[in-house]
């Protein structure tokens, strides 16, 4: 199962390290990543594989949101099927 993870917030050191460490701790594989700075805002999109995650998807979402609060960014994880359904008639 794949999911899309987004991170948006004020740029500062440690954002990528914090998010990637969190994912590794839960056995979530990062399959693709794109990040940039838009003006002074950090933005990152990841395609992640959660098939081997050690917690339920809802728990992963809640914990990632909590991590975002701790490091001062907004983190969102959405199942890939949501994006696929948006492009299906």
pLDDT tens for the chain, 89 residues long, are 999 999 999 999 999 999 999 999 999 999 999 999 998 899 999 999 999 999 999 999 999 999 999 999 999 999 887 766 666 65
SS3 state of residue 43: strand
**CATH for 2-86, among 3.40.50.300, 3.40.50.1010, 3.10.620.30, 3.30.70.260?**
3.30.70.260
Strands of the sheet containing 41-49, edge to edge, are 29-38, 41-49, 2-10, 73-79
């Amino acid at each position: 199962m794949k999911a899309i993870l987004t991170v948006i917030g004020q740029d500062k050191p440690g954002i990528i390290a914090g998010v990637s460490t969190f994912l590794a701790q839960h056995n979530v594989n990062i399959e693709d990543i794109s990040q940039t700075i838009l003006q002074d805002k950090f933005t990152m999109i990841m395609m992640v594989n959660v098939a081997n995650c050690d917690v339920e998807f809802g728990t992963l979402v809640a914990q990632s949101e909590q991590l975002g609060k701790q490091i001062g960014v907004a983190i969102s994880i959405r199942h890939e099927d949501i994006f696929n359904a948006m492009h299906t008639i």
